[in-house]
A = this chain, B = another copy of it.
Amino acid sequence: MSWDGVPEAFQEWWTKRARAGWFDVTRIPFDEMEGWSFDGPTGNLVHGSGKFFSVEGLRVTDGDGRGSWAQPVIHQPEFGVLGILVKDFDGVPHCLMQAKMEPGNVNTLQLSPTVQATRSNYTRVHGGQPTRYLDHFRGPGRGQVLVDTLQSEQGTWFWHKRNRNMVVRVTEDVPLHEDHQWIAWDDLRRMLRIDDLVNMDSRSVIASLPFPPGPGDTGSPEDIRSPGAASPGAAHHSMRHILSWFTEAKTRCDWSARLVPLAAVPGWTRSPRRIGDEAGDRFDVIAVRVQAGNREVPGWTQPLLAPRALGLAAFLVRRIDGVPHLLARAGHEPGLLDRVEIAPTVQLPDAAAGGPGGAPPFLDVVNGAAQDQVRFDTVLSEEGGRFYHARTRYRLIEVGDEVPVRVPEDFCWTTVSQLMELVGHGHYLNVEARTLLACARSL
């Protein structure tokens, strides 16, 4: 974590934004929330408008229909827009980024996309101000669309949540709001290495930014984001092989998941101030009151999901025939639309603990890495609009021949370029893998 190399102009702007706004977040009992209540028959936590989101139950059933378990989950069926405007200044690509406060952020203010708006936001269900810069992403006057895909978010906390990830290029002048700043791509890449600065939504969009690859990338020097771009010859596996591996992993997955009433979730208890698992190792659902100075609305109450621990997400990186590869994993998460997406090599809700049911493959390699193997190691925050102090330690660990090219069936070696080709479509990479893909581009 270091601000070394971050332009002074940015640091000045950032300090100013941090001083200009304020956020007072107080935990309150559920019954002090305004507009939110527990639905009678289901026990679901819902908003009176029927909009925003709800907290419901999710039940997972084994293939043989016998074993099953359940948990609370956030259900937000609408698609939001996460959009970054890009523009060349003197031939250098810049991204229009926003200083944005979210109630769940440990540090209140983080760097957000140009537009980060739920449908409730931009259709103004809560009667706030219109979303700035949204017209560049929607409607007839928008710029050149470079990226426009639906991407999943946390499948352990959300039910079928997707957001529309967009990158739009403009050539005309764009009026600059004081919360917004043009940031050169090279500076933005470096900022990923600063703890809790670049927020989850930014990272998700950055993973798909169609800019030239850095030195850590391999393959086509042109537009590597385009789904039409050729796979690099240097990759260990062809894209066909990777797609087949992914299809095979999906067919092996024989459990199913569905929404159930929150009241029908066993093993979780609701008290006046929290809904939590009795074992105490997952998360709480809590309620907060937010007093804000510069958000769309002056103050509100809402539920947040508060994980109990710092998470861990890590890719192993090794050279195969001289080309860096990331060790992708077919990750199963109950809230993902198709249950399986490509995930980091190791992904755990608690960085300090093993996985449920013993340590997962390669956790020992991640934990045992010497300092000179660590290519990336930064703690970053998850979505502060839904999660309270949810943070994950993101790591890229370089390994050598001690990790073989031949790996268990849930794993597959892939290049950065191949993952970027896949992220041109939805439902291939989960949000943690997309964060690490963005981080890999910071090297």
Contact = CB atoms under 8 A, between A and B. Distances in A.
B230 A230 contact: yes
A251 B425 contact: no
A239 interface: yes
Give the size range of A's interface with the partner: 35 or more
Given A247-B148, A247-B150, A251-B79, A240 B226 contact: yes
B150 A250 contact: yes
B146 A240 contact: yes
Contact of A227 (B145, B243, B254, B259): B243
A50, A78, A226, A421 interface centre (most CB from chain B within 10 Å): A226
Contacts of A78: 254
A203 interface: no
Contacts of A337: 337-338
B79 A65 contact: no
A136 B254 CA distance: 23
A229 interface: yes
Nearest to A239: B228
A39 to B, nearest CB: 13
A420 to B, nearest CB: 12
Contacts of A103: none
A240 B240 CA distance: 21
Contact of A228 (B148, B231, B247, B259): B231
A11 interface: no
Contacts of A247: 148-150, 164, 426
Contacts of A259: 258
Contacts of A243: 148-149, 227, 424-425
A145 B245 CA distance: 10
A244 B137 CA distance: 11
A129 interface: no
Nearest to A142: B244
B77 A240 contact: no
A259 to B, nearest CB: 8
Nearest to A138: B248
A432 to B, nearest CB: 21
Nearest to A338: B337
Contact of A230 (B145, B228, B421): B228
A256 interface: yes
A124 interface: no
Given A337-B338, A338-B337, A240 B148 contact: yes
A241 interface: yes
A226 B239 contact: yes
Nearest to A248: B148
A358 to B, nearest CB: 27
B227 A227 contact: yes
Contacts of A421: 227-228
Contacts of A77: 256
B227 A239 contact: yes
CB-based closest 9 A-B pairs = A148-B244, A228-B231, A79-B251, A145-B244, A148-B247, A228-B230, A228-B239, A150-B247, A425-B425
25 contacts: A77-B256, A145-B240, A145-B241, A145-B244, A147-B240, A148-B240, A148-B247, A148-B248, A149-B243, A150-B250, A164-B247, A164-B251, A226-B240, A227-B421, A228-B228, A228-B229, A228-B230, A228-B231, A228-B239, A228-B421, A229-B230, A337-B337, A337-B338, A425-B425, A427-B427
